[in-house]
Amino acid sequence: MASSIAWESEPVTVTANQALAAADAKGSGDRTEATEAEEFLRGMLAGRLVAATEVRREANSAGFSWATVRRAKKRLGIRATRRAESGDGLGGRGHWYWSLPSSPAP
């Protein structure tokens, strides 16, 4: 399946942020996918560091798009920290970890 664009004859009347917010909405009352993604991240990261790869895997299993998770990460002020597994942590020897801003620094 290939991507395509369908051009509308009417001008766009919403901002990019409004369009993204609408894309996040699930339509289940007041709860949006954005709110649910924030709750998911708070629960997953509560009091601990979590590898970004694990966050992505769990988010995917929970049905969240990675873009929605990244936006929720930004709204919550989640810290991303690179930790060395060996050497200086650059290249393939380090991994990214996420933590809530209220969690102790790694």
Beta bridge partners of 50: 98
- 6: tokens are 């369908």
Q: What is the pLDDT of residues 16-51, one digit of tens each?
A: 777 766 665 544 445 688 899 999 999 999 989 999
Q: What are the boundaries of each domain within the chain?
A: 31-99
Q: Which residue, 65, 14, 12, is CA-closest to 37?
A: 65
Query: Over 90: is that where the pLDDT of 103 sits?
Result: no
- Residues 79/98, Cβ–Cβ less than 8 Å: yes
Beta bridge partners of 98: 50, 80
How high is the pLDDT of residue 40?
95
Q: What is the pLDDT of residues 60-94, one digit of tens each?
A: 999 999 999 999 999 999 999 988 876 665 656 78
Residue found by looking up tokens 């620094």 in the block? 105
